[in-house]
Amino acid sequence: MARIKTDINVSRKEVIVAKAAILFREKGFKAASMRDLAESVGVEAASLYNHIKSKTELLHELCFGVANRFMQKMEEVEQEKIPAVGKVEKLLRFHINEMVHHYEEVYVSDREWKHLSDPYLSNFQNQRRIYRKRFATIIEAGIRAAEIEPIDAPTAVLIFLHAISGIESWHRSKQKISAEELENNMITILVDGLYPRK
Amino acid sequence: MARIKTDINVSRKEVIVAKAAILFREKGFKAASMRDLAESVGVEAASLYNHIKSKTELLHELCFGVANRFMQKMEEVEQEKIPAVGKVEKLLRFHINEMVHHYEEVYVSDREWKHLSDPYLSNFQNQRRIYRKRFATIIEAGIRAAEIEPIDAPTAVLIFLHAISGIESWHRSKQKISAEELENNMITILVDGLYPRK
DNA sequence: ATTTGTCGCTAACGTATGTTAGTTTGTTAT
DNA sequence: ATAACAAACTAACATACGTTAGCGACAAAT
Are residues B123 and B59 in contact, defined by beta-carbon separation less than 8 angstroms? Answer: no
Distances, alpha carbon A80 to alpha carbons A76, A88, A128, in Å: 7, 12, 22
- Partners of A188 on chain B (C-beta within 8 Å) are 149, 151, 193
pLDDT at A197 over 70: no
DSSP string, A22-82: HHHHHH-TTTS-HHHHHHHHTS-GGGGGGT-S-HHHHHHHHHHHHHHHHHHHHHHHHTS-S
Mutate to test the interface with A, among B23, B149, B159 (most CBs of A within 10 A): B159
CA–C1' gap, B28 and D7, in angstroms: 28
Asked if residue A60 keeps its beta carbon closer than 7 A to nucleic acid strand D, the reply is no
Confidence grade of residue A198 (pLDDT, cut at 50, 70, 90): very low
Are residues A92 and A160 in contact, defined by beta-carbon separation less than 8 angstroms? Answer: yes
Q: Name the nt closest to B47 by C-alpha to C1'.
A: D8
Mean pLDDT score of chain A: 91
- Whether residue B159 and residue A186 make contact (CB cut-off 8 A), yes or no, is yes
Measured between alpha carbons, how far is B192 from B183 in angstroms, rounded to an integer? 14
Could you tell me which residue, A7 or B177, shows the higher pLDDT?
Answer: B177
pLDDT of residue A195: 53
Domains and CATH numbers, chain A: 12-50 (1.10.10), 55-192 (1.10.357.10)
DSSP label of A196: P
pLDDT of residue B175: 72
Q: What is the mean pLDDT of each run of 10 residues along chain B (198 residues)?
A: 72 95 98 97 95 97 98 97 93 95 96 95 96 96 90 91 91 85 88 59
Helices then strands (H, E): number in chain B? 9, 0
Q: How many residues does chain B have?
A: 198
pLDDT of residue A175: 73
Measured between alpha carbons, how far is B73 from B75 in angstroms, rounded to an integer? 5
DSSP label of B107: H
Contacts with B89 (C-beta within 8 Å, 6 or more apart), sequence order: B187, B191
Measured between alpha carbons, how far is A176 from B132 in angstroms, rounded to an integer? 15
Which residues in range 49-78 of chain B are in contact with strand D, contact meaning CB within 7 A of any of its atoms?
Answer: 50-51
Q: From the CA of B56, how many Å to the nearest CA of chain A?
A: 14
DSSP label of A152: -
Q: Which bases on strand C have an atom closer than 7 Å to a protein beta carbon?
A: 6-12, 16-22, 25-27
Could you tell me which residue, A72 or A146, shows the higher pLDDT?
Answer: A72
Other Cβ atoms within 10 Å of A125 Cβ, number = 15
pLDDT of residue B8: 67
- Partners of B158 on chain A (C-beta within 8 Å) are 163, 166-167, 169-170
Are residues A166 and A190 in contact, defined by beta-carbon separation less than 8 angstroms? Answer: no
pLDDT at A130 over 60: yes
- Rounded CA Rg of chain A: 19
Measured between alpha carbons, how far is B26 from B171 in angstroms, rounded to an integer? 12
The phi, psi pair for A160, rounded to 5°, reads -55, -55
- Rounded CA Rg of chain B: 19
Other Cβ atoms within 10 Å of A164 Cβ, number = 25
pLDDT tens readout for residues A41-80:
999 999 999 999 999 999 999 999 999 999 999 999 999 9
pLDDT of residue B198: 45
pLDDT of residue B193: 59
pLDDT at A6 over 90: no
- Partners of A173 on chain B (C-beta within 8 Å) are 154
> Per the omega criterion (within 30 degrees of 0), is the bond before B83 cis?
no
What mean pLDDT comes out for the span A70-99?
95
pLDDT of residue A44: 94
